[in-house]
Structure 1
């Protein structure tokens, strides 16, 4: 069995596997930005195929810059979802010079691809650097607290089938928890009916608990405006325009809105060895 990332290498297949015909994720993001008074300039980190960024720019009246680490995803976005500015790169190394945005989006657990505390620190420093004063961080992600004592998502192997260009692809997805690294790990094995070799895709998300997330954001100069589990674009029941956020954080998903209250410090751009830790600052 070979290794690879069939979905990010084949963006058309990704959109077939994870359809969003009603643009629920983009509409939720737009409604959230409006609810909390965000300006028009949006930075979409982990923009994927670009369909959310394009909807926000076309229908939300916003300027959007999308960043993704997959060259195939970025090329697909430019071709199939034009309008926003797209760039390829690592969000932890984000450097857009003096450009500032009114909001940073991290949808579908993009924030959780920062697996270590150091990765999270680096990303949040980059967000601070590129947010205008009072700018928003809006994130939608898996909820680490959900897995305390629950194994329903870990005890089953999920099988899904999708057809692309006349080839039927079948995936078997398994989740497990790496407690030492505090990661939710995933193995997705793909087979196809065209005789191709099976492919195994491995990925992982950092599991963050609500109070841990609040502390991390406070250390980096953000005030949490809301942190709740539902409704959202990937919850049951799904978000609707008239839905009000819950006051709980118990389900599989977390939805975060935080406002920047402290701008970037000059030390943020110095190497880590030459910089005091965030928590040591007065």
Structure 2
């Protein structure tokens, strides 16, 4: 195995490890966009393999998918066509929908997005307050007045007094292109940096050496997130722990939110001031 990130460097393996055959994440997102009347121009930040972006495109939206991984973007263009895919850093970006059918709510000739979507904890790669401010300032620049931010992520509040997901290795196995892979994943809380740190060790039966990979997410508390959003001109329309595309039980059409923010996922819909 190579020393890069095994999953992001091999998008086919990523989709095998995290299947979503029913496009649950895309359907949840489209439901939120329709519920709050978002126009057609959508930016999917941290789009990964493009599955969700392509679902939103198929629903009739004009979608730009953005990611830092060139491998993911190349895969998305081939396997999930329809959206325009570009490389961008969610901590500081300047993107526009470009020409296309429909101008959206207040977006003139397509100069602004009607919604920014940020799923699967991508927002939590903003580790510092400055990076989170950079993300929200970039969203504010890119959105039309009244535009939506739709985000789904881990819930920092879940780790207050709970350790059931921490410090104990969890194992997963899968086969891909004739090779069997096994991962050992351990999470720990770095309280000083306010991060959830992940160590994942991959082994394979092809004789290659094990690969150890490290990543981290910001642990944001619900009220902390409300404060950041308000400081950048957003009004929170929804902020709850479920149901959502990665909760148990998962979201389904017509499901109502719990009204709490206690479980391990957090779902946010916020509107930029008009």
TM-score normalised by structure 1 residue count: 0.90
What is the deviation of 1:3?
4.1
What is the deviation of 1:99?
3.0
What is the deviation of 1:2?
7.2
Q: Taking structure 1 as reference, are residues 2 and 75 closer, same or farther at Cα in structure 2, changes over 3 Å only?
A: closer
1:206 maps to: 218
Correspondence 1:32-181 to 2 at 5 A: 32-58=32-58, 60-96=59-95, 99-181=111-193
Contact 1:187 1:200 in 2 (8 A): yes
Deviations along 1:10-43, one digit per CA (max 9) or x if unpaired, are 0000000000011000000000111111111100
Please identify, of 215-224 and 193-202, the stretch whose mean Cα deviation from structure 2 is larger.
193-202
Deviations along 1:105-161, one digit per CA (max 9) or x if unpaired, are 000001000000000001100000000010000000000000000000004211001
3-state SS of the aligned residue for 1:138? strand
Distance between the aligned counterparts of 2:4 and 2:177, measured in 1? 20
3-state SS of the aligned residue for 2:91? helix
Q: Which runs of 5+ in 2 are unaligned?
A: 97-109
1:10 maps to: 10
Distance between the aligned counterparts of 2:227 and 2:257, measured in 1? 21
Distance between the aligned counterparts of 1:37 and 1:157, measured in 2? 43
2:19 maps to: 19
1:253 maps to: 265
Distance between the aligned counterparts of 2:133 and 2:149, measured in 1? 14
What is the deviation of 1:246?
1.4
Distance between the aligned counterparts of 2:50 and 2:208, measured in 1? 28
Q: How many residues align?
A: 261
Distance between the aligned counterparts of 1:111 and 1:91, measured in 2? 8
Distance between the aligned counterparts of 1:175 and 1:155, measured in 2? 6
Structure 2 residue 232 is matched with structure 1 residue 220? yes
2:101 maps to: none
3-state SS of the aligned residue for 1:119? helix
Deviations along 1:155-206, one digit per CA (max 9) or x if unpaired, are 4211001111000111000000000000000011100001111111110000
TM-score normalised by structure 2 residue count: 0.93
Please identify, of 92-101 and 150-159, the stretch whose mean Cα deviation from structure 2 is larger.
92-101
| 4+ long deviations beyond 4 Å | none
What is the deviation of 1:242?
1.7
Distance between the aligned counterparts of 2:11 and 2:273, measured in 1? 37
What is the deviation of 1:84?
0.2
CA RMSD of aligned residues (A): 1.3
What is the deviation of 1:245?
1.1
